Amino acid sequence: MATSIAVGSKNPAKIAAVSQGFITAFRLQDSSDLLLEGFDVDSGVAEQPVGDTETKQGAMNRAKNAFEAYITTNGSPPSYSVGLEGGISTKEMGQTMECSAWMVVYNGKTYGSARTATFMLPESVAQLVRDGMELGVADDTVFQRINSKQGSGTVGHLTRGVMNRSDYYCHAIVLALIPFNWTELYP
């Protein structure tokens, strides 16, 4: 029986990360046993979340809202839902701005969560974010790209393609799935 997964986004980079994370965590051969469906759901936080608390809350809200959207669309709950939310560490002038993201997996009763690694944003991008621009738009503006957040993301550009946005999220999804791989330890 296929595993149904509601993703709290229709962003192809996020859906690819969820697929690869589940394949990796559950040691699947490929995605043929996964049925992923993306939903445009509200995060309930600012368009550009600041800090771990707000960013994690956005991911949790997306996971819960995707779970409910799946039920509304399909008439039954998914096996899992996943919320992914990127955030920044600070908007204060004179401080280094770092980027990270939270992943939350939900199965209707249990949550698993994990955060990605962080990386520093260049000041040219950070200043646009301080001025109120969302990170993806700031990335497109500074690096003269189009819709980067649905592709390699800021991390893809800054690592010169060594890591794209899906790769960046994948490890945190694997970590967020730990409670579902060890149900006897996480009742």
Per-residue pLDDT at 86: 95
Distances (CA, A) of 42 to 7, 9, 59, 178, 185: 12, 9, 10, 26, 31
| 146 pLDDT more than 90 | no
Mean per-residue pLDDT over the chain, rounded: 94
Q: What is the mean pLDDT of residues 24-31?
A: 94
The answer to whether 88 touches 120, Cβ cutoff 8 Å, is no
Q: How confident is the model at residue 122 (pLDDT cuts 50, 70, 90)?
A: very high
Helices and strands (DSSP H and E) totals, the chain: 7, 6
The answer to whether 27 touches 85, Cβ cutoff 8 Å, is no
Domain 3-181 carries which CATH code? 3.90.950.10
Per-residue pLDDT at 95: 83
Distances (CA, A) of 187 to 144, 174, 179, 182: 48, 18, 8, 9
Q: What is the mean pLDDT of residues 82-101?
A: 90
Per-residue pLDDT at 153: 87
**Nearest in space to 84 (alpha carbons), one of 55, 110, 108:** 55
**Nearest in space to 26 (alpha carbons), one of 187, 130, 182:** 182
Residue range 165-180, pLDDT digits in tens: 999 999 999 999 999 9
Distances (CA, A) of 52 to 27, 29, 179: 29, 34, 21
The answer to whether 58 touches 102, Cβ cutoff 8 Å, is yes
| 27 pLDDT more than 80 | yes
Per-residue pLDDT at 150: 76
Per-residue pLDDT at 151: 80
Q: What is the mean pLDDT of residues 70-88?
A: 97
Residue 113 parent element (H or E): strand 111-115
